[in-house]
A and B are shown apart, each in its own frame.
Chain A
Amino acid sequence: MAAPAPSWRATPRARKGGAAWLTAASAAALFVLLPLLALVSEAVQGSAAHLAGIATTILPAALWTTLVLLAGVGAIAASVGTTAAWLVTAHDFPGRRMLSWALLLPLAMPTYIIAYAYLDILHPLGPVQGLIRDLLGYASPREFRLPDVRSMTGCVVLLGFALYPYVYIPTRAMFLTQSSGLLDASRTLGVSARARFWRVALPLARPAVAVGVSLALMEALNDIGAAEFLGVRTLTVSIYTTWITRTDLPGAAQIALALLMVVVLLVALERWARRSQRFASGGGRTLQPRKAGPFAGIGLLILGLIPILIGFAAPALYLVQAAWSRYQFAGVSARLAGEALNTILLAASATAVAAALGLVVAYALRIRPGPHSAWAYRLATVGYAAPGTVIAIGMLIVLGLADRTIDAAAHHWFGSAAGLVFLGSGAAVVLAYVARFLTIPAGAVEAGLARIPLSLDQASRTLGRGATGTFWQVHLPLSAPALAAGALLVFVDCVKELPATLLLRPLNVETLATHLYGEAARGTYEEAAMAALAIVVIAMLPVVLLARVGVMPNRHAAPRQEVRSGGAAAAAA
């Protein structure tokens, strides 16, 4: 994602040391960039005539579809995420605590599973339309049925409700850390509760909303499963069919680059929104929720439950029911446990690597502020912007080259084959996950570090710690919660990831997602219900943990004042 607003101007005295950090951050950036460069080299192999053909036949419609989808998903995610965040922050009512973490649950639900579940739930043969027919007295779906969910509207609504947590998380954090001073002032000035939200709290939270919306939009942009199920032909789907049906990888790479332009726009939007982020971080008493009356309280609870119902509970119940009927029909597949283990191992390895690299790029930015570290940060976090399929193909090209080179070298020097070091070992999958999701821990750590006052760095350095010593003894402990939150999100995303897993895994290794896809591809969804449920359950655990470390930043924000005074005390000591 975008590098944060440059803070180096705020530190007139350039700090010494940390060259190793900067080098490591640059290496991380290069690693993420390699698959994209491989893609560019593919794209330029396509002829110009080719590009012209694609520009006239595919791009206009796909671009328009994509923009409509993004506008719709953005609007829903922004309004639902912000409303939900305000609801549980500014109001006190029964069930508020439960809501504050349950609102995260849609994160555990891959978009392709949501799409498939709703296709069934809302089908004329499904429970919803069946109930409506019963109530209205129709005997057959031929007499009465609702509009088909396979439409742009269906896709917008489902993705919007699946992705709103990306807005909810940063916006809630922002509301929680907002100074209540301005809100109190506006209250004493006679501003109504509603106007306080629209005219004070929301403008203050705008940067957080923009950050969340840009994340949600990138997820929507990268989605391929839901869009395909629902018949929405986005740029990403077009890349896919151009690659597959026309066996035209250069053409697909060209569309992918067009897509990246859309993403650059999004990133610019996010950076524009973040430029004024600093003004929101005033100190003072944080916002205290207001107690709602008994009836209003129930109303608020119901309001808060709606997004959870749509984005999680309904599809989850559907999965439970489908998995149960499958269980009765065929028992538990013996492969499921092995697949779950593969899923967890791949995701956990990638999480560890991504967390470490995220620390490196974010920390380099702090101790060596300047254009070099800012660019390293930007490039290292660009992977999230590219669709998974694109990263996967780029990674295949890069690691294929590496594997062939290593194998040939082994032949030459040792006279025996090395085989495929990356593609044959699962390392390729892990590296692709890291390239794609590095932005999450990097962004989290960066935000966490931003909360630590520079005076603390100065104190530590005055006391004789180097850049690395300060990192271990000051920054790492203080930004650990942020890192943990970032790591949990990466883990969830890796568990749900499909295209890179499918393309890069070694022989005989299935994950839950590839199993699910294999069944879905041949139309035997029923056999995949248990794998789908297992994905959701595995992804749910970190989400619940996340609720403890990530969405309660007031607990970590509160020590901020103490840190500041603690820092002063350390400096005085």
Chain B
Amino acid sequence: MSRFSRFFAAAGVALLATSAAQAQELNLYTTREPGLIEPLLASFKTATGIAVNTVFLKDGLAERVANEGESSPADVLMTVDAGNLVDLVEKGLTQAVDSAALKGAIPEALRDADGHWFGLSMRARVLYAAKGLDLAAISYEDLADPKWKGKICIRSGQHPYNTALFADYIAHHGAAETETWLKGLKANLARKAAGGDRDGAKDIAGGICDIAIANSYYVGLMRSGKSGEEQVAWGEAIKVLLPTFKDGGTQVNISGAAVAKHAPNRDAAVKLLEYLVSDEAQKIYAEANYEYPVKPGAPIDPIIASFGELKIDTVPLTEIVGHRKAASALVDAVGFDN
């Protein structure tokens, strides 16, 4: 295993070997879990012959790249949540890319105007509801209604998926009203704001709550049986509603990527981004990960399509990003996670 010699042998020697082999390689720093992106990278390699080395970093992506500085081997930085992408740009870790293929495939609202980051797939913050529950439509505003007291499950309020939703709420209603709403939502929780989005479905199946706020693609992962029989049962215990803001649509976030400022393999990096918005890759995003493709007209998986037509909220991503620190502060102020 060459990776072993690389990290274990005396570093200098090993690294010379690495740089010699860089012609057909590309280094990807990602906060997206390996299991999610492997099919995309495998198919990229088949299409272009470029092998992708990865390191899955989760939360320290920006710090890692910043501290590696000009010596960083990173070519592509991949993450979820528009806020995380904007952070990378604001820290000066990205470079502009001018690519007709990227511009043509990704709607303007889902990419940076200056070409520093590009949205590659979308997910909606939806509502899981117990199958038998008499509920056909709901607004995000309704979630603070006291009739839901003790009936709602949600993950930590500080998770980026939630701070993005709350930031969108601020964009619609202002900070003061959002604080009141958050207090109402907190009062309605059936359990601690913790765990993951799938726990929402599992807890509905377990009778802990009636509704849960969660991301759209988990439903596909559960119902498809890719995660085993047990999760099929969770997926089947719920129905999915697409909530909307009263004066807008459903809150949508993106996964995306940027080319690193000091990318040693810049051309290959741009190739990867262009590949990821090709019809082939967008299909994988939809079929393997159950995300909404960013490319207009690309097919949506039937499980996801069954939720009904997605009406994307009107507030631009960049505006949501601007409110997210305020949203995070409000989460602390109301003691949402306590």
Contact = CB atoms under 8 A, between A and B. Distances in A.
Q: Interface of chain A, helix or strand or loop or mixed?
A: helix
Contacts of A408: 70-71
Contact of A246 (B54, B325, B338): B325
B336 to A, nearest CB: 10
Interface stretch (A271-279, A290-298, A509-517): A509-517
B194 A519 contact: no
B277 interface: no
Interface stretch (B102-110, B177-185, B198-206, B299-307): B198-206
Interface in B268-290: none
A507 B53 contact: yes
A232 B191 CA distance: 12
Given A241-B158, A326-B228, A396-B64, A123 B55 contact: no
A92 interface: no
Contact of B8 (A119, A345, A396, A401): A345
Contact of B163 (A151, A245, A399, A407): A245
A417 interface: yes
Interface stretch (A142-150, A197-205, A309-317, A438-446): A142-150
Contact of B195 (A150, A341, A419, A505): A150
B1 A233 contact: no
B58 A517 contact: yes
A345 B62 CA distance: 27
A520 B34 CA distance: 12
Contacts of B56: 502, 510, 514, 518
A509 B337 CA distance: 34
Given A345-B8, A418-B15, A506-B6, A241 B328 contact: yes
Contacts, number: 211
Interface string A485-514: 000000000000000001101111110001
Interface residues of A, number: 81
B63 interface: yes
Nearest to B324: A245
B30 to A, nearest CB: 10
A231 B156 contact: yes
Contacts of A519: 33, 35
A393 B70 CA distance: 19
A519 B228 CA distance: 14
Contacts of B335: 61
B4 A341 contact: yes
B221 interface: yes
Contacts of A403: 68, 71
A404 interface: yes
Chain B: interface residue count, which band?
A: 35 or more
A244 B59 contact: yes
Which of A230, A338, A403, A425 gathers the greatest number of chain B CB atoms within 10 Å? A425
A527 interface: yes
A427 interface: yes
A132 interface: no
Contacts of B36: 522
B19 interface: yes
B54 A393 contact: no
B55 A419 contact: no
A56 B157 CA distance: 19
Contacts of B163: 245
14 contacts: A145-B208, A228-B156, A241-B156, A244-B158, A246-B325, A342-B4, A342-B7, A403-B68, A416-B16, A426-B8, A507-B27, A522-B33, A523-B218, A526-B230
Interface of B: 1, 3-4, 6-8, 11-12, 14-16, 18-19, 27, 33-36, 53-60, 62-64, 66-73, 87, 156, 158-160, 163, 191-199, 202-203, 205-208, 218, 221, 227-228, 230-231, 324-325, 328-329, 332-333, 335, 337-338
Given A123-B203, A245-B158, A503-B60, 17 more contacts: A57-B329, A124-B208, A150-B195, A232-B192, A245-B325, A400-B66, A403-B71, A407-B71, A419-B11, A502-B56, A502-B58, A518-B58, A521-B33, A523-B196, A524-B35, A526-B230, A526-B231
